[in-house]
Structure 1
């Protein structure tokens, strides 16, 4: 009798062990924002610096994120922030790219500073964004935790791409050679999309959080972004110094 029971128990244990095995790791695609237009500053060089140092708690969460915020943000800034070749220099600094768990929520924050200087003077602008994602239950799978962190980083980057361009256009506009809103394009541009015929369509950029105005789209000629480091269509002039208005 024992000889019949023991094999049955062994088979049952094997089935239970198979049911409790963890799911296979989930694959998350890289967050790529190469479709966005460059933000071209009227300077000879642009240096991107990461000054963010995470706390131990933030470092643990960032280590579980398939798309660590600071890395994704720096890669995007390295591509988008471009020098036109005019005299001067620019520094783009990542001051914050944090993720924390607060009250059952994953809370992310990003802050980017832009400093420019040249013959015409100097300028500064800061862009800050936040985003929140519901944290998975403590007994949730590691895949669920990774998915929540990935979604949070994606939302942060979406917000930052809009906020940074908006702040530059409205507070450092004289330092911009082209951003999709200046230079070759007649209207402010947000994320671009390929129409399939070689023309990039740029959608108008409203203030962060503002409703869509439904403004017509502007076409950017093919090849405008072929060599963003040395744009051929830029005026290249340094910012014009401000002069006081004549007395009335």
Structure 2
């Protein structure tokens, strides 16, 4: 019995359809590629300690309901990378411990992600005693979108976004707390503390070094000396002097001017040959004089 035409065409249709199956499976495209979270482009904080260790107490699942393990970069790993990139031991003694207390992401009702990060940094002296402490706390809420209402709030893209946002806040907050509470433990790239006071070694009295130091110290005083203002010449009067019309000795050598006195009291004498009035004694002018 010959098979029907329909049955003969079935294997051929299957062969034609099989190559299309892989294409259908890849129709959604490759998974998104998330860049690693690195922080070596930010300023490095040099601590005057010999070692810096990291203690991770915020691994995924530590907090009930935590879904941070689904993130492309879990928050605790991002915090570890931040400590590695930004904290550097620049001393010869002592030590520091960077502790991750919490690094969680919770999926709240309504398609909302709630993230929290808590860290602290302990500094110990060379003899092992606790000498300094700084802590930083960050909380972020990632709001839902229209697509998240269908259960996509905890997608890798959203988990990556909230982790990145929390890390931006943590970098700022941690640096502020360290500079505020651990200032004495910060050093520059040369190993000098910003709060160190510069000192100058003085030589033994009488030695060439002491003389050179004294000369250098005396230089500012000489440079700072201001010459006395010249004495202004005495003012020359604009009118001739009544006592010395043609001048006279200098003002500082001149004798005090004599006091002008009035004539001694007395009587005026009338010249002879002038007639006087017998009554008043005044000249007689009746004759025309």
Q: Distance in 2 between matches of 1:145 and 1:124?
A: 37
Distance 1:139 1:100, change over 3 A: closer
Number of residues of Structure 1 aligned to a counterpart in Structure 2? 183
Kept after mapping to 2: 8 A contact 1:42/1:238: no
Residue 139 (structure 1) shift: 4.7
Relative contact order (alpha carbons < 8 A, sep ≥ 6): 1 or 2 greater?
A: 1
Select the residue among 108, 116, 126 that pairs with 1:109: 116
The SS at the match of 1:47 is: strand
Alignment of 1:1-248 (within 5 A): 22-53=28-59, 54-55=62-63, 57-58=65-66, 61-103=67-109, 104-118=111-125, 122-135=131-144, 136-140=148-152, 145-178=155-188, 231=189, 233-235=190-192
Kept after mapping to 1: 8 A contact 2:186/2:194: no
| TM-score using structure 2 length | 0.53
Distance 1:68 1:162, change over 3 A: same
| TM-score using structure 1 length | 0.61
Residue 27 (structure 1) shift: 0.7
Residue 138 (structure 1) shift: 3.3
What is the root-mean-square deviation of aligned Cα atoms in Å? 3.5
Residue 134 (structure 1) shift: 2.6
The SS at the match of 2:121 is: strand
- Structure 1 residues not aligned, in runs of 5+: 179-230, 241-248
